[in-house]
A and B are shown apart, each in its own frame.
Chain A
Amino acid sequence: MTFPAVEIESARSSPMRLGMVLFLISEAFLLGALFWTYYYLRGLTPGWPPHSPPATLAFVNTAVLLSSSATIWLGARAIRRGNEKGLFGFLLATIVLGAAFLGITGWEWTHEDFFPWTDAYGSTFYTMTGFHALHVLGGVLLMLALLARTARHRFTADSFKAVEVGSLYWHFVDFIWILVFTSVFIIR
């Protein structure tokens, strides 16, 4: 069996993307622990769910977050073609959509008829949506950093790795939301 010798080039290439992929694998397990909790309790509790948070607004929220995945993709495409203004605009749109998602989530939380300390369902509901919201918040901060860098003309058609890596994170957070949404609001 032979093993290809590693080229000098690849030893010098930036491992940023691999780092992000590894980090996301790790985060998937963090959220996996929450899903484990949710489905374990669901399987052992008669009459699940004890509360039914309204799904209408969550549908709107899903649409908001999914469209932000589209805007970040468009932003990465724009800078790949050298369009710095396009990147700036789409990053801004992504931030606005992310902030809107957080705002809607916050409004929902204050209008539920149960609290984290009501019962185990409440604890799980708020912890799952809360951890996801924390990840969205982290994503928004990341996008703000990218926006600040774009404003200082640090990204060009040849150099935009950070945008790609950042969008990877954003897509991941969106994907996790689909799982949370399906578990908590659709199949109940």
Chain B
Amino acid sequence: MNKAPLKAFAGLAGLAAGGGLTMLVRLALGMPVWKTSPVLVVGIAAGLFAWLAATVGFRKLLSLDAARGALCGLAGTGVAIGITMLVRLAIGLPAWNASPVLTVGIFTGVVVYLITLGVFNYWARWAVGRPDGADRPKKPGWARYFDVDTDHKVIGVQYFVTGLAFLPFAVILQLVGRTHMVDPDLGILASGSYESVIGTHGIVMMFIVVLPVFFGLVNYFVPLQIGARDLAFPRLNAFTFWLVPPAGLLAAFSLMAGGFTTGWTAYPPLSSSFEVQGMDLVLIGVYLAGLSSILTAVNVLATIFKKRAPGMGFFRMPIFVWGTLATTSLSLVFTQFIGMSFLMVLLERTLGMGFFVPAMGGQVLLYQYLFWFYSHPAVYIFVLIGLGLISDIIPVFVRKPLFGYKGVAVSSMGIAWGGTIVFAHHMFAAGLPGWMRVPFMITTLLVAVPTGVKVFAWTATTWMGKIELKTPLLFVFAAVILFLIGGLTGIPQGIVPTDLYLHDSYWIVGHFHALFFGGFLLPAMAAIYYWFPKVRGRMLSEKLGRIQWFLMVPGMFLMVVPMLGLGLEGMRRRISDYEFILNLQPLHIATAVGGFLVFAGLVVLGYNLVVSNRRGETAGKNPWEASTLEWMISSPPPEHNFDEIPHVHDRPHLEQHAHVGGEPEQKSGEKEGDKA
């Protein structure tokens, strides 16, 4: 029987019911009946749900942990909002005050969601001394990815796909913003909406795209590369993953709740003023994402310290693992600062506290100290894993071991910990005490040294190599060049006199987009082409990969370089308008075109993923002839990763790096230690 009409009907009925109900509620609350965004969003969500229910069956849909958790979480939010309003009435306050009511509602909803999802089941059973239920049957196929699962490979895919799912959302937001800037007089966005749109783009990109994409790779490949069965705490791993989807939805829905005009930095006093209505959702969302990344850091560090295979000394780990080690050691401690500073703003909004309110004896600059003390190291949190990927992919495709392996490994830690003492360079223009300027200028410039070590090592590795220009290597080369541009354009911002001119201009927007392209997006693309065969057992299309490259990389240059020019011309960031007489429009047009090219590249990637997942050629164990451990097992890896305990003999990217199965080689006795 053809069920297509039924599915379509269910979807449309859901859309109509959801939209209609929203309009009725709005009518009952005395609001204007039609407002496009809430009515459409609720309608589309209801329609999607009805369509899914008709497609896979209502019962099966509800049996998915994710669906159950989401529904119960929503219900919990509603009930908690209702109770809070009743309590407020009872103690003589006006029933509705967005910040406290929403905050209580959302936190309760998230807790209900986590409980009904079942991430606490293992621990609850452990506490009362019952069997932990780990032998629960796993659903076949895609359904497994919507259940709470403790296998690091499943969680890795969950993280990665969550990040990828939010990527087009964040990019489209920015395309709207860029289109607006082509001709602000057309009024595509109102002035408040423009700031909200780009702020949401920033927040979603950093916390809901970059972190989950990298944590996905870390989850999947760090245990494989160090020869472990799983992460140190698989249940904690599941818990930290399931914090990410609500965080992402909160950040995205802040636009519907009124948006936030502060930009991603959320500086008070603007962020604690009630005119910025969507702020609460962003603050809570980022807090959840931060909590997730702190606990993931605990988990990954314990894994790297405790779960390495025999022979896997620290200086035999792939650089990707070193980058992970550096990143997680930073996010372990510094994420607490953004968590705390965001919570303090939330407390100001909900309880009327006054840490940053001068009239109450607070200090505005205090927020900036706390915030940048995290957020500068955060930059390294966002790029170090990408730099590790670059260092690992180059040797595979130039058929040479990494030049200066030990220096590159240590430079990851150098960048990470050197980066912790530079934070005040974000505040050169903020009224910093004069004596702080020069020391922070010097430390800032010093961080360029370990970064330079990496770039020199990559170049030297490529030198005289047998270069195979496969798609991963193409992306890596583009990444190195963009990263270099990002690094060099950072120097004028580290130097006080030039920074005072460039601060808060498009120069910095261009600078950090170059860094994010070179340190995150392009390495992530390289990683997709490099590791997809391992995860799915099929190769991605090289041809589509090249088309993507030729759309994306020129697009990135077209986006970044005009931004730098705009900055030099004096264009400020987060401003939704400019005078045509200043002749800035051509540069804005170029930036917008670049943005659309990058997006076109992403569309090609999506097509490639879907098509190659079905019809790509079979990959086999080791299509790239790489030597690290993940390539010594079948693709996709078996449930338990390694049939036998792997043994590691030497550095990565050497023939004799490691082997799985068979007796440990006797003659490797003299190679026990690391010789260099």
Q: Once bound together, how far apart are the Cα atoms of A36 and B315, in whole Å? A: 37
Which stretch, B37-45, B278-286, B363-371, touches the partner chain A? Answer: B363-371
Determine whether the beta carbon of B313 is less than 8 Å from that of A5. yes
CB of A113 to closest CB in B, whole Å: 16
A:126-156 near B, CB below 8 Å: 126-127, 144-145, 148-149, 151-154
Residues of A within 8 A of B344 (CB): 37, 127
Central interface residue in A4, A19, A22, A23, by most chain B CB within 10 Å = A22
Q: Could you tell me the distance between the alpha carbons of A145 and B123 in the complex, rounded to whole angstroms? A: 9
Give the secondary structure class of B's interface: helix
* B360 in the interface (beta carbon within 8 A): yes
Which residues of chain A (98-114) have a CB below 8 Å from chain B?
none
Is B673's CB within 8 Å of the partner chain A?
Answer: yes
Q: Which B residues between 429 and 461 are near A, CB-CB below 8 angstroms?
A: none
Q: Is B337 a contact partner of A19 (Cβ separation < 8 A)?
A: no
Contacts of A15 in B (CB 8 A): 232-233, 302-303, 305-307
Q: Which of A154-173 contact B (CB under 8 A)?
A: 154
Find chain B residues with CB under 8 A from A4 CB: 313
- Check A5–B232 contact: CB distance below 8 A: no
B332:A5 contact, CB within 8 angstroms: no
Residues of B within 8 A of A3 (CB): 313-316, 673-674
Partner of B370, one of A2, A6, A33, A117: A33
- Check if A127 sits within 8 Å of B347, measured CB to CB: yes
Q: For the complex, give the distance between the alpha carbons of A153 and B315 in Å.
A: 44
Q: Do residues A2 and B355 form an inter-chain contact, with CB atoms below 8 A?
A: no
A149:B355 contact, CB within 8 angstroms: no
Closest chain B residue to A47, Cβ basis: B361
**Closest chain B residue to A44, Cβ basis:** B363
Partner of B353, one of A5, A11, A36, A117: A117
Contact yes or no, B355 A152, CB < 8 A: no
A6 (CB) vs chain B CBs: closest residue: B308
A179 in the interface (beta carbon within 8 A) = no
Within 8 A of A (CB), among B280-299: 294-295, 297-299
Nearest CB of A to B565, in Å: 39
User: B341 contacts which chain A residues (CB < 8 A)?
Assistant: 33
Chain B 314-342 interface 0/1 with A at a Cβ cutoff of 8 Å (1 = within): 11100000000000000011111101110
B205 at the interface (CB under 8 A from A): no
Residues of A within 8 A of B617 (CB): none
B198 at the interface (CB under 8 A from A): no
- Which residue from A19, A116, A118, A121 sits with its C-beta under 8 Å from B299? A19
CA distance A8 to B369 in the complex (A): 45
- Is the CB of A96 closer than 8 A to any CB of chain B? no
B674 touches A123 (CB 8 A): no
What residues of B have a CB within 8 angstroms of the CB of A34 in the complex? 340
Task: Say yes or no for B187: interface residue by CB 8 A criterion.
Answer: no
Given known pairs A33-B340, A149-B128, the reply for A41 and B297 (CB within 8 Å) is no
- Which residues from B are CB-within-8-Å of A8? 310, 645
Q: Are B336 and A123 in contact (CB under 8 A)?
A: no
Residue of A nearest to B305 (CB): A18
Report if A70 contacts B (CB, 8 A): no
Tell me, yes or no, whether A120 is within 8 Å of chain B by CB: yes
Q: Is B352 an interface residue (CB 8 A)?
A: yes
Q: Please, which residue of chain A has its CB at the minimum distance from the CB of B313? A: A3
Which size class do B's interface residues fall under?
A: 35 or more
A18 CA / B313 CA spacing, docked (Å): 18
Q: Is the CB of B306 within 8 A of A11?
A: yes
A40 to B352, alpha carbons, bound, how many Å?
20
B637 at the binding interface (Cβ < 8 Å):
no
A10 at the interface (CB under 8 A from B): yes
Complex interface: chain B residues within 8 A of A6 (CB): 308-313
CA distance in complex: A4, B316 (Å): 11
A25 in contact (CB, < 8 A): yes
A26 at the interface (CB under 8 A from B): yes
- B302 touching A123 by the CB < 8 A rule? no
Known contacts A2-B672, A22-B298, A123-B362: does B353 contact A27 (CB below 8 Å)? no
Number of interface residues of A (CB under 8 A): 50
B354 adjacent to A120 (CB under 8 Å):
yes
Q: Report how far A25 CA is from B129 CA in the complex, Å.
A: 29
| A120–B357 CB distance below 8 A | yes
In Å, the complex CA distance between A50 and B360 comes to 11
Q: A124 vs B311: C-alpha distance in the bound complex, in angstroms?
A: 50
Residue of A nearest to B361 (CB): A120
CB distance from B632 to the nearest CB of A (A): 17
**A39 CB, min distance to chain B CBs, angstroms:** 11
A25 → B minimal CB distance (Å): 6
Report the minimum CB–CB distance from A19 to chain B (whole Å): 5
* Interchain nearest-CB distance for B674 vs A (Å): 6
Q: Which A residues lie within 8 Å of B362 (CB)?
A: 41, 120, 123
Interchain CB contact (< 8 A) of B298 among A23, A36, A121: A23
Within the complex, the shortest CB–CB distance from A97 to chain B, in Å, comes to: 20
Contact with A along B361-384 (1 / 0, CB 8 A): 111001001100100000000000
B106 within 8 A of A: no
Q: Do A13 and B306 touch across chains, with their CB atoms under 8 A apart?
A: yes
* Shortest CB distance B258–A (Å): 23
Chain B CB within 8 A of A30 CB: yes
Interchain CA distance A31-B310 in the complex, whole Å: 38
CB-based nearest A residue for B333: A29
Shortest C-beta distance, A38 to chain B (Å), equals 10
| A7, A19, A25, A27: residue with the most chain B Cβ atoms closer than 10 Å | A19
B243 within 8 A of A: no
Tell which of A26, A50, A119, A153 touches B336, judged by Cβ atoms closer than 8 Å. A26
Is A45 an interface residue, CB under 8 A from the partner?
Answer: yes
Interface presence of B228 (CB below 8 A): yes
B127 touches A149 (CB 8 A): yes
Q: Are B310 and A11 in contact (CB under 8 A)?
A: yes
| Alpha-carbon distance A34/B354, docked complex (angstroms) | 14
A1 at the B interface (CB under 8 A): yes
Choose from B123, B129, B302, B313 the contact partner of A19 (Cβ within 8 Å). Answer: B302
Query: A-facing mask of B560-602, CB < 8 A → 1, else 0?
Result: 0000000000000000000000000000000000000000000
- Can you report 9 A-B residue pairs in the complex whose CB atoms are below 8 A from each other? A6-B309, A11-B307, A11-B310, A13-B306, A18-B301, A18-B306, A32-B336, A41-B363, A154-B129
Residues of chain B touching chain A, judged by Cβ–Cβ distance below 8 Å, are: 123, 126-129, 228, 232-233, 236, 294-295, 297-299, 301-303, 305-316, 332-337, 339-341, 344, 347-348, 351-355, 357, 360-363, 366, 369-370, 373, 645, 672-674
Knowing that A8-B310, A26-B332, A116-B351 touch, tell me 14 more A-B residue pairs with CB under 8 angstroms.
A1-B674, A2-B674, A5-B672, A11-B306, A26-B335, A30-B336, A36-B369, A41-B361, A41-B362, A50-B361, A120-B363, A122-B353, A127-B347, A149-B126
Q: Which 9 A-B pairs have the closest CB atoms?
A: A2-B673, A152-B129, A3-B313, A145-B127, A123-B353, A117-B352, A15-B306, A120-B362, A33-B340
